[in-house]
Structure 1
Amino acid sequence: MRIIVIGAGAVGAACALALTEAGAEVIVVDRAGVAGETSSRCEGNILVSDKEPGAEALMAIEANRAWRELAARLDADRVPGQPATEFEPKGGIVVAFPGGADALEEFATSQRGIGIRADALDSAALREAEPHLSPEVALGVHYPDDAQVQPSLAAQAMMARARFLGAQLRIAEVTAGIVEHDRVRGVQTTDGRIDADAVVICAGPWSGDAAALFGSVLDIRPRRGTILVTAPMPQRVFHKVYDADYVGAVGSGDAALQTSTVVESTQGGTVLIGSSRERVGFSGEGLLAPLAEIADKATRLFPFLRDTMLLRTYYGFRPYAPDHLPAIGADARISGLFHAAGHEGAGIGLAPTTGALIVHAILGTPAPLDPAPFLPARPTLQGVPA
């Protein structure tokens, strides 16, 4: 079976790898190359800590397991041109300031009910885990299963392995979908026509536009996020540490600016500081406000950051779905068209399980979990209010 994957970010690379390993002939098409957009402008989170009980949390638990197996496999047997994923099972610590401790403990208790490990830390344990944390923090909850990859390298690693196994990568822009009698026959690109038996749209925040090229509808919107990066330093942050406000920001549908504190070190010695969320289309204007707000909140969490030099800042666009669940599976209208989009900030973390669900949808392999909650045909993605 010949399958076109539109998009070479982490989700597209994971789908390409899973489909290739399942025996399909895969052609990946991307206008910017591997990890050229969203996947190079994020933190590489593999989180269970920010997921409230429900379908996405169950997917995150499975994806966390899948990432450990996949990263170990990719890193142990690297093919030419394949970078290391920089997978770090560092764990996460979610903290609350006075007034927020009860809500954090209640949230952690609900997560324990579905099997997420969440261990409350007393004051001594919290200071031992993160000695540079602000003494204002009232409660910390340790999530030992939180992890991280270097997102661009992880996407490149998956794509390199897929290409080694026979997948093709073409740098071109898809300009039209080729549909005959409500069935996909291929795509038209700036480099010519490509015929195929199926097409998978993994175009991140541009996935709605890509669906329209085939005459279909998928309500995926861009949600801008900004990140600060410090100069390299001796390690002072030992986990992924974030304020409990982050959970609310992730689940919010508000278009206005929302910021919350996420701080973590990288293997290169820099510290990544996030995060912000706002729906401003694909605009790159007005970045000072979110960056300033992020910096102010981060210095409250880790006071040493007040005297730290910034190396750079960057921003990107996350694929936002109105009901906060990714779209994974068959299109609602066009036979042979499939989607893997709408993960917002969880695309890196959910990538390998997304790939497995796409293989299930197209080739009929066993699904790693119930695919029904993620189907693109649900009304919220078809422009119908819930």
Structure 2
Amino acid sequence: MPTRLRTLDAVIIGAGVVGAACAYFAGRAGLSVAVVDRGAVAGGTTGAGEGNLLVSDKEPGPELDLALLSVRLWGELAAVLPRDMEYETKGGLVVAPDTATLTALRAYAASQRAVGVEAAEIPADTLRTLEPHLADGLAGGFHYPQDAQIQPARAAARLLAASGASVHLGEEVTAILRTPSGAVRGVRTARRELAAPAVVNAAGTWGGAVAALAGTDLPVLPRRGFVLVTEPLPRVVRHKVYAADYIADVASGSAALQSSAVVEGTPAGPVLIGATRERVGFDRSLSVEALRRLASQAEALFPVLADVRVLRAYHGFRPYLPDHLPAIGPDPRVPGLHHACGHEGAGIGLAPATGLLVAAALTGETPATDPTPFRPERFTHDPPPAAHPAPDTASGPRETAP
């Protein structure tokens, strides 16, 4: 028989960086919160992330607004949380292989600067002042000093520890409990019931399955990505460096394999090489073609990597929504249900702003940025579903790691 605990203000499903950020800002707003995860802290998509905190890859619009807010918040969090999160304001460098791409990149950067992004054009003959080991023949690039890096699993753990939330790991939510009128009243696991008038779906790639538990739908799909990790090196890559075609890959809705090298050094020495994207469901098999492409593209950017050993590769599943924007905020179809998922590859970077928006929705405070573009119900024009009890068990995949 599940143990009943005191009534909380909110239960957050998911102990990744987004769920941890929701817990942190909810706790800072004075709310009593519990976090539940069927795995470990950062055991899903967060643990398979590179830790990108990017504004450079986002065009003007709601996601960039969220990213600019998050960049500021990450800086504030880094000042008060433990330094082992490896927060680095290293900046990003986007390079163009030819003059046509550079011209397009110039227009793109100008549109970003108009809304607060810092971007400086770097001529071809001075690229190596920023990155001495870059390949010859590049047409130029743009430096984005606001881009940063963090160790995502540690960031999630530190946010969660500072939140004041009670944390229940290794406990799958089997039901979202609802009142006879259909409003949320808590969650059930095999070990306990947690009573709360609000439940936050921060389950990342598995956000659709959690939405189904509440009797609604959210079209979250997994988008698989691989990362290569080299042997430890001296700091041969100083910034986060990627080719301009990465921006197009991020915005693409294609299900096919896409790859564009994102290369960066880390404080510990290994170089991280991403990123691929493909929609293959929850297929966890190794893709030799994806790894081959990453290695080849990284070597094209940094020939010095040609003889460097790759120690390992890992992969995870990005939570993909059809319009490439996350679902953040209350779901009017199920009173008391809130969503904070579907960030695709930007969840680590967007986590603080997401947590701040969720906390504002929970407390009724004015949000720091307009949440309207992220409203969860935007994918359907159907009337809200009739109230009915949630199922006892989750449908969909049972993954505890990415």
TM norm. shorter chain > 0.5: yes
Q: What pairs with 1:241-320 in structure 2 (closer than 5 Å)?
A: 241-320=241-320
- SS of 1:100's partner is helix
Matched, 1:335 2:335: yes
Matched, 1:179 2:194: no
Letter in 2 for 1:72: A
CA distance in 1 between partners of 2:158 and 2:345 (Å): 20
Q: Please say which of residues 373-382 and 45-54 is displaced more in the overlay.
A: 373-382
Cα contact 1:321–1:381 (8 A) shared by 2: no
Cα contact 2:23–2:35 (8 A) shared by 1: yes
Residue 223 of structure 1 corresponds to 223
Deviation at 1:190, TM superposition (A): 2.2
- SS of 2:376's partner is coil
Deviation at 1:288, TM superposition (A): 0.9
What do the CA deviations read for 1:1-26 (whole angstroms, capped 9, x no partner)? 52100000000000011111111111
- Indicate how the Cα distance of structure 1 residues 212 and 132 shifts in structure 2: closer, same or farther if over 3 A, else same: same
Deviation at 1:123, TM superposition (A): 2.7
Deviation at 1:35, TM superposition (A): 0.3
- Indicate how the Cα distance of structure 1 residues 371 and 213 shifts in structure 2: closer, same or farther if over 3 A, else same: same
Letter in 1 for 2:22: C
What do the CA deviations read for 1:284-308 (whole angstroms, capped 9, x no partner)? 1251111111111111000111100
Matched, 1:150 2:151: yes
CA distance in 2 between partners of 1:381 and 1:35 (Å): 34
Deviation at 1:33, TM superposition (A): 1.4
CA distance in 2 between partners of 1:243 and 1:137 (Å): 10
Question: Which residue, 74, 77, 91 being the options, matches 2:81?
Answer: 74
Matched, 1:64 2:60: no
CA distance in 1 between partners of 2:165 and 2:344 (Å): 29
CA distance in 2 between partners of 1:251 and 1:330 (Å): 26
CA distance in 1 between partners of 2:70 and 2:183 (Å): 31
Cα contact 1:20–1:167 (8 A) shared by 2: no
What do the CA deviations read for 1:322-366 (whole angstroms, capped 9, x no partner)? 001110001131100000001111101111110000011111122
CA distance in 1 between partners of 2:267 and 2:37 (Å): 29
Letter in 1 for 2:295: A
CA distance in 2 between partners of 1:206 and 1:381 (Å): 23
- SS of 1:12's partner is helix
Residue 78 of structure 1 corresponds to none
TM-score, length-normalised on structure 1? Answer: 0.94
CA distance in 2 between partners of 1:312 and 1:63 (Å): 30
| Number of matched pairs | 374
What do the CA deviations read for 1:17-57 (whole angstroms, capped 9, x no partner)? 11111111111000111101110101100000000011111
CA distance in 1 between partners of 2:269 and 2:167 (Å): 35
Deviation at 1:312, TM superposition (A): 0.5
CA distance in 1 between partners of 2:355 and 2:153 (Å): 17
- SS of 1:307's partner is coil
Residue 122 of structure 2 corresponds to 121
CA distance in 2 between partners of 1:380 and 1:278 (Å): 25
Letter in 2 for 1:350: L
CA distance in 2 between partners of 1:382 and 1:310 (Å): 50
CA distance in 2 between partners of 1:373 and 1:184 (Å): 24
What do the CA deviations read for 1:201-240 (whole angstroms, capped 9, x no partner)? 0000000011001101111111001000000011100000
Deviation at 1:148, TM superposition (A): 0.6
CA distance in 2 between partners of 1:33 and 1:221 (Å): 21
Question: Which residue, 27, 31, 34 being the options, matches 2:38?
Answer: 31
Q: Please say which of residues 187-196 and 127-136 is displaced more in the overlay.
A: 187-196
Deviation at 1:382, TM superposition (A): 7.8
Cα contact 2:39–2:169 (8 A) shared by 1: no
CA distance in 1 between partners of 2:210 and 2:169 (Å): 17
CA distance in 1 between partners of 2:300 and 2:192 (Å): 54
Deviation at 1:166, TM superposition (A): 4.6
Cα contact 2:11–2:34 (8 A) shared by 1: yes
Deviation at 1:381, TM superposition (A): 9.7
Residue 210 of structure 2 corresponds to 210
Letter in 1 for 2:227: I
Residue 14 of structure 1 corresponds to 21
Cα contact 1:218–1:381 (8 A) shared by 2: no
Cα contact 2:171–2:191 (8 A) shared by 1: yes
Residue 238 of structure 1 corresponds to 238
Task: Structure 2 unaligned segments of length 5 or more: list them.
Answer: 1-7, 384-402
- Indicate how the Cα distance of structure 1 residues 13 and 166 shifts in structure 2: closer, same or farther if over 3 A, else same: closer
CA distance in 2 between partners of 1:368 and 1:125 (Å): 39
Letter in 2 for 1:146: D
Letter in 2 for 1:97: P
Letter in 1 for 2:154: L
TM-score, length-normalised on structure 2? Answer: 0.90
- SS of 2:81's partner is helix
Identity rate of aligned residues, in percent?
Answer: 51
CA distance in 1 between partners of 2:324 and 2:332 (Å): 18
CA distance in 2 between partners of 1:307 and 1:286 (Å): 22
CA distance in 2 between partners of 1:284 and 1:379 (Å): 28
Residue 160 of structure 1 corresponds to 161
CA distance in 2 between partners of 1:335 and 1:33 (Å): 28
- SS of 2:30's partner is coil
Letter in 2 for 1:61: L
Letter in 2 for 1:32: G
- Indicate how the Cα distance of structure 1 residues 192 and 157 shifts in structure 2: closer, same or farther if over 3 A, else same: same
- Indicate how the Cα distance of structure 1 residues 7 and 381 shifts in structure 2: closer, same or farther if over 3 A, else same: farther
Residue 134 of structure 2 corresponds to 133
Letter in 2 for 1:63: S
